[in-house]
Amino acid sequence: MPPTPTPAAAPTPAPGRTGTRALTRARWGVAAVLLSALLVLGGAAATGPGAGPAAADDGGRGGAWVGTWATVPTATPPTATPVLHDETVRQVVHTSVGGDRLRLRLTNEFGDAPLRIGEVRVARRAGDAGTDIVPATDRAVTFSGQTAVTVPAGAPLVSDPVKFDLPPRADLVVSVYLPEETPVTTLHAFSYQENEVAQGNATRAASVEATETMTQWHLLSGISVRTRGHGAGAVVALGDSITDGAETRVNANNRWPDLLAERLRHTGVLNLGVAGNRLLHDPNPPEGGDAENYAAFFGESALRRFDRDVLAQPGAEHVIVLLGVNDLGHPGTTAPESETVSAEQIIGAHRQIIARAHAAGLRVYGGTILPFKGDTLGFHSAENEAKRQRVNDWIRGSGEYDAVIDFDRVMRDPADPLRLRPAYDSGDHLHPNDAGMAAMAEAVPASLFRPDRGR
């Protein structure tokens, strides 16, 4: 019998929703589709006090554009598709590198219908909690000079450059107004950040009266900034829930990529981890099982999403890969036994990522799979342990990665190396706690990201 799911692995169904009204409706989008370049625009140009139109700046020419924040968009299951109507979503994101212009990337990539957006605004967050904004920093976000926009089905949408003074590691609040009934079929299910929904168009409000609190990111997948200082582009962390931040404190930004960003002041650090993600397989829950209610949140396989989530990131120069535990653990729990993979198949997937990264001129670093003996999800077995050891031996010894980050060595219990170190264990014996995340961040050598380091 499959264990009760938690993210790494398997997220809890209908995650992170509290408030006066459940934003769910059994209305399902479609499976993933290819990105489209078509932008269908509408609405009026930004005007009026505080509009801060992007058209007034220099168009973002000069300097370099680098990703400062990103997340993995996924589809939603039929039973957990939020529906918004005449509501504003206010979402907090914790950035990495700073700059003097920014761009937002909205997403309708798993939608089967155009997405109508009435207004989008961005501002610095006031304080360290909630979604209140600093009014003096509030800016309109435009798309070809327009404030209202229709995002085509299956497509992302990148905004005009917005003049914005963004210091490193600042919190931004992005407010998106949805005037029409909108099934949110593209989101990131586990933000570990409390975001809010307010009635009507509250995009310009300094504070809102929330009707809902959620720990998801809706319709937003990236923010890039124009930088003028020295730096090493962006580092992409490609992973599963251990990278996504499972079992870390909500609102604390203690994911290991966040903590790495604190050490790399002039480098973007982008978290492209998603709970439950596998290298080789898309979500495929057994028919009639509980996993049908949440498996879509696991995202497309890393091999499928690599171009979108890594190569398309502005300024990406480095990739850290930490994947494989779900390829071992999902078959027989949240995926059919027929998707059981060998160590050699996992190694083959790593080789594909290395080849594709190198073909694009990126340096790529292999992270060893963390120990998980005794995990509460039913992943561990003697067979899976043997596969983990084989994959880790290959990562360490093959020389195919540009460097190795030995997370296994740092995180294992010296008294029982097949288990997580107790001080770093969240309690499920699979996911690190906040202290474990800090240890993982410290395990990444900052010297890997020197601007003058060649491949």
What percentage of the chain exceeds 70 in pLDDT?
85
pLDDT of residue 453: 62
Compute the distance between CA of residue 448 and CA of residue 444 in angstroms, rounded to an integer.
8
Which two tokens mark 225?
């900034």
Q: Report the amino acid identity of residue 224.
A: S
Compute the distance between CA of residue 127 and CA of residue 240 in angstroms, rounded to an integer.
30
169: which DSSP letter? Answer: T
* pLDDT, tens only, 423-438: 999 999 999 999 999 9
| Residue whose C-alpha is closest to residue 53's, from 93, 92, 101, 90 | 101
Compute the distance between CA of residue 322 and CA of residue 184 in angstroms, rounded to an integer.
29
* pLDDT, tens only, 43-83: 333 333 333 333 344 555 667 999 999 999 999 998 899 99
- For the chain, helix, strand, coil in percent to 5 are 20, 30, 50
pLDDT of residue 309: 99
Report CA 319 to chain centroid distance, whole Å. 14
Report the pLDDT averaged over residues 210-234.
Answer: 91
Q: Chain-wide mean pLDDT for the chain?
A: 89
Compute the distance between CA of residue 191 and CA of residue 329 in angstroms, rounded to an integer.
23
pLDDT of residue 265: 84
Q: In what order do the strands lie in the sheet with 115-117?
A: 40-41, 149-151, 115-117
| Residue whose C-alpha is closest to residue 157's, from 177, 141, 138 | 141
Q: Which domains, and CATH codes, for the chain? A: 35-225 (no CATH), 230-446 (3.40.50.1110)
The enclosing H or E element of 438 equals: helix 434-442
Report CA 378 to chain centroid distance, whole Å. 25
Which residues touch 431 (CB under 8 Å, ≥6 apart)? 6, 7, 8, 241, 242, 246, 247
Q: How confident is the model at residue 451 (pLDDT cuts 50, 70, 90)?
A: confident
Compute the distance between CA of residue 185 and CA of residue 195 in angstroms, rounded to an integer.
17
pLDDT at 263 over 80: yes
Q: Where are the beta strands (DSSP E) in 323-429?
A: 363-367, 403-405, 412-413, 416-420
Cβ neighbours around 307 below 10 Å, total: 12
Compute the distance between CA of residue 47 and CA of residue 50 in angstroms, rounded to an integer.
8
- Strands 234-239 and 316-322, bridge-based pairing: parallel
Report the pLDDT averaged over residues 92-106.
Answer: 98
pLDDT at 27 over 60: no
Whether the Cβ atoms of residue 38 and residue 150 lie closer than 8 Å to each other:
no
268: which DSSP letter? Answer: E
Which two tokens mark 412?
């294992």
Whether the Cβ atoms of residue 281 and residue 159 lie closer than 8 Å to each other:
no
pLDDT of residue 450: 83
pLDDT at 41 over 60: no
Dihedral over Cα of 95, 97, 102, 108: its sign? negative
Q: How confident is the model at residue 111 (pLDDT cuts 50, 70, 90)?
A: very high
Give the least confident one: 54-63, 126-135, 378-387.
Answer: 54-63
- For residue 401, the SS3 value is coil
What percentage of the chain exceeds 90 in pLDDT?
82
Cβ neighbours around 429 below 10 Å, total: 19
Q: How confident is the model at residue 151 (pLDDT cuts 50, 70, 90)?
A: very high
- For residue 78, the SS3 value is helix
pLDDT of residue 12: 35
Q: 201-205, long-range: CB within 8 Å, 24+ apart, which pairs?
A: 201/86, 201/88, 201/118, 201/119, 201/177, 202/88, 202/90, 202/175, 202/177, 203/88, 203/119, 203/120, 203/121, 203/175, 203/176, 203/177, 204/50, 204/121, 204/138, 204/175
pLDDT at 3 over 90: no
Q: Report the amino acid identity of residue 16.
A: G
pLDDT at 358 over 60: yes
Which residues lie across from 372 on neighbouring strands? none
pLDDT of residue 426: 98
Report CA 146 to chain centroid distance, whole Å. 27
Which two tokens mark 349?
């997937």
Report the pLDDT averaged over residues 264-268.
Answer: 92
Report the pLDDT averaged over residues 222-239.
Answer: 89
pLDDT of residue 228: 76
Which residues touch 343 (CB under 8 Å, ≥6 apart)? 386, 387, 390, 391, 394
Whether the Cβ atoms of residue 257 and residue 98 lie closer than 8 Å to each other:
no
Compute the distance between CA of residue 118 and CA of residue 120 in angstroms, rounded to an integer.
7
pLDDT of residue 78: 86
pLDDT of residue 389: 99
